[in-house]
Structure 1
Amino acid sequence: MKFFLNLLEFFFARKIFYKINLNFLKLFIRFLGYNNHKDLNASGEVYFLQMVCSEKPKLCIDIGANVGNYSEYLLKNSLTKIIAFEPMPQSFRQLQNLKKEYKNRLNIFQIGVGDKKTNKTLYYDKNNLQWANFNNEVNSIDYLKNNNKKIKCKINTLDNLLKKNRKLKISKIDLIKIDTEGFEFEVLKGAQKTIDKLKPKYIQLEYNWHHLFKNVNLYHFSKSLKFYDTYKILPFSKKLMKINPNKPEHNYFNYSNIVFVRKKIK
């Protein structure tokens, strides 16, 4: 086997094959759960959500809810209540329509979630609101080049927001989902008290190219969630794949969905 690999390297590790090799790399990492982002089915998230719904969750938190597709799936397929946060006004209006349908189970807040209470600029493309972000440095990514519009948004920590809204009477959280286009680490930093106290079983977040510009990798996320094991959602697998965040092959800065699962501590 070693001889065969050395032979392949001898023939193909040349400048003439570089672009071909790169295209093969981009193809094969898709099989490892990277860059499958068309919808909940293509990403494999639907299988994860089916698993969550089968466990009869009581409360899920959706941070970066966008127009509410993720929340809507949970609402349709379980009896869970949801607290959703979305700062973009246009997206929030669609969340309000979902609220009308699930008025007793869905609480929505037009605010960004981060690591401190502040006001921050949100950059966006009017034709792709799902890519709105708080990090101007990530807009050098090629598909974000049209994020040239901006608005000021309020931001607060999850810890503060849940404490402020005592009427929600939160005693347990089953799932926290974070999709904030590169702002995920800040969200986690502002949610540590909530995580320590309420011990959500699942924390799902998007790991992407954005984190290269933020100097944050999957290893950093795992260190901040020391009581959690790290799993990846694969496109067509009904089971989560446990991964080691200390290894470089699991720290590629390409779109993937990561789930941190609470360890069973005796």
Structure 2
Amino acid sequence: MLILNSNSKTKMTNLKNFIKKIFRKFGYDLVRYRPDSHPVARLARLIKFYQIDNIIDVGANTGQFVSLLRDQIGYSGKINSFEPLSSAFKILEIKARNDQLWTVYNYALGDFTGEAEINISENSYSSSLLNMMQAHLYAAPNSKYISKENITIKTLDSIFINIASSQDKIFMKIDTQGFESKVLKGAENSLKKILLIQLEMSLVSLYEGEILFEDMLGLMKGYGYRLVGLVPGFADLSTGHLLQVDGIFSREPSP
């Protein structure tokens, strides 16, 4: 076993700090990959602990979350992705073509079944059914809306039987740019069968009519969930203010 004296430890610490400084100069960082310090490692541990075998990916865009699941976490179970934008869905569909356990759907999930008009942002992933607030535009000018598209909306409750069985251990991720509470409203019956939920929560108003962080915590508690994780998200680079986080919730055991 290698034993380092205090002088060697000091040199090792200085070397680590020097390497970190170089990486950070180019916009990177070195972080230990374990559940107490790395969000991907923590998500992997949650998926393993709850034995998740069916993931519902709401607001899939071009499949960024699935790439994380498959390539970084190594999740090999079922995935059902929902993406209403036709341009993003074309890319999503191509990516899912050779994955037999990944099914994609070209519609949104919400609190009603019907048609609606979605605002398409320049960067695609900021597109929303809600109007964008000035705070969002100020922090991310490339999120501005550039067009609109008519889309289909369904409730999760109306299609749940088609994507999950009573034996499935389900994790749902919701990334719908302020529309998260509407997705939950349309899934009230399905939530009883969903073990984990990850969703975006805004600390300030980014989309008109969205539910903010504190109220979302209360809403999730009312649905029978408790907060088990937080992941920093969208921030204003000019001020350093955090504007949005991802909250991870687990279903409380029935009394």
Superposition TM-score, scaled by structure 1 size: 0.68
Deviation at 1:215, TM superposition (A): 5.4
What's 2:150 paired with? 152
C-alpha distance in structure 1 between counterparts of 2:134 and 2:116, whole Å: 15
How far residue 170 of structure 1 moved from its aligned partner, in angstroms, is 2.0
Q: Evaluate the alpha carbon distance shift between residue 222 and residue 90 of structure 1 in structure 2; reply closer, same or farther with a 3 A threshold.
A: same
Contact 2:178–2:210, Cα closer than 8 Å, also in 1: no
**Residue 205 of structure 1: how far off its partner (Å):** 0.3
2:227 is the counterpart of 1:255: no
Alignment of 1:162 onto 2:156? no
Counterparts of 1:184-223 in structure 2, within 5 Å, are 184-196=180-192, 198=193, 200-208=194-202, 209-210=204-205, 213-214=208-209, 216-223=211-218
CA distance in 1, matches of 2:177, 2:118: 11
Give, in whole Å, the separation in 2 of the partners of 1:139 and 1:86. Answer: 25
Contact 2:200 2:244 in 1 (8 A): yes
Cα distance between partner residues in 1 of 2:252 and 2:214: 17
Structure 1 Cα separation of the partners of residues 214 and 109 of structure 2: 22
Return 145-154 or 216-225, whichever deviates more: 216-225
Q: Distance between the aligned counterparts of 2:57 and 2:89, measured in 1?
A: 13
Number of aligned residue pairs: 202
Q: Does 1:180 align with 2:176?
A: yes
SS in 2 for 1:66: coil
Structure 1 segments of 4+ aligned residues over 6 angstroms from their partners: none
Q: Alignment partner for residue 64 of structure 1, among 54, 59, 65?
A: 59
SS of the residue aligned with 2:125?
A: strand
Q: For residues 226-245 of structure 1, what are the structure 2 equivalents within 5 Å?
A: 226=222, 227-234=224-231
The aligned amino acid for 2:82 is F
Aligned pair partner of 2:130 in 107, 120, 135 = 135
Return the letter of the residue paired with 2:196.
Answer: Y
Residue 11 of structure 1 corresponds to none
Match of 1:95 among 92, 95, 99: 92
One-letter amino acid of the structure 2 residue matched with residue 202 of structure 1: L
What is residue 253 of structure 2 aligned with on the other side?
264
Richer in helix (by share): 1
Partner SS state of residue 189, structure 2 = helix
For the residues of structure 2 that align with 1:92 and 1:44, how far apart are their CA atoms? 30
Indicate the SS of the match to 1:121: strand
Q: Where do 5+ consecutive residues of structure 2 fail to align?
A: 1-32, 233-240
1: CA distance, partners of 2:86 / 2:229:
31
Q: Distance in 1 between matches of 2:134 and 2:117?
A: 13
Q: Which amino acid aligns with 2:144?
A: N
83-92 vs 203-212, which deviates more?
Answer: 203-212
Aligned mates of 2:39, 2:61 — CA distance in 1: 16
CA distance 1:156–1:98, change in 2 (3 Å): same
Partners of 1:182 and 1:44 lie apart in 2 by: 26
Q: C-alpha root-mean-square deviation of aligned residues, in Å?
A: 2.6
Deviation per residue, 1:77-100 (Å, 9 max, x gap): 122101110001111112112211
